[in-house]
């Protein structure tokens, strides 16, 4: 459990950059980072994130079920519009 391991994880980082007019801006970038920790720490980190992940899985499934049900009940003069807002 105390053996060191290395794994990759996607992380959000902010970076200072210059826009096309050479003005400084801050952007959010998703990067793949190498993480070094013990097996025990990895298990703890996984357990900490599991509840949030399972809530996400439930929400996705529920949303697809509701959309499918709505689509099957559409009348001839109705339309279903799906808008996906990313973070």
- Going from N- to C-terminal start, the domains of the chain cover 4-72
Provide the pLDDT confidence category of residue 85 given band limits of 50, 70 and 90.
Answer: confident
Q: What is the pLDDT of residue 82?
A: 87
Average pLDDT over residues 80-87: 82
Distance separating alpha carbons of residues 84 and 87, to the nearest angstrom: 10
Q: Would you say 44 and 32 are in contact if contact means Cβ atoms under 8 Å apart?
A: no
> Average model confidence (pLDDT) for the chain?
94
pTM above 0.85, yes or no: no
Instruction: Considering only residues 23 and 84, tell me which one the structure prediction assigns the higher pLDDT.
Output: 23
pLDDT over threshold 80, residue 86: no
Query: How much of the chain exceeds pLDDT 90, in percent?
Result: 93
Q: Measure CA 85 to chain center.
A: 13
Retrieve residue 2's tokens: 């105390």
């Amino acid at each position: 459990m105390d053996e060191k391991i290395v794994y990759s994880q996607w992380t959000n980082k902010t970076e200072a950059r210059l826009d096309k007019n050479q003005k400084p801006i801050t952007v959010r970038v998703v990067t793949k980072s190498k993480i070094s920790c013990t097996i025990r720490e990895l298990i703890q980190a996984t357990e900490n994130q599991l509840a949030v992940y399972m809530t996400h899985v439930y929400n996705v499934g529920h949303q697809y079920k509701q959309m499918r049900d709505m689509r099957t009940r559409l009348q001839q003069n109705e339309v279903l519009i799906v808008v996906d807002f990313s973070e």
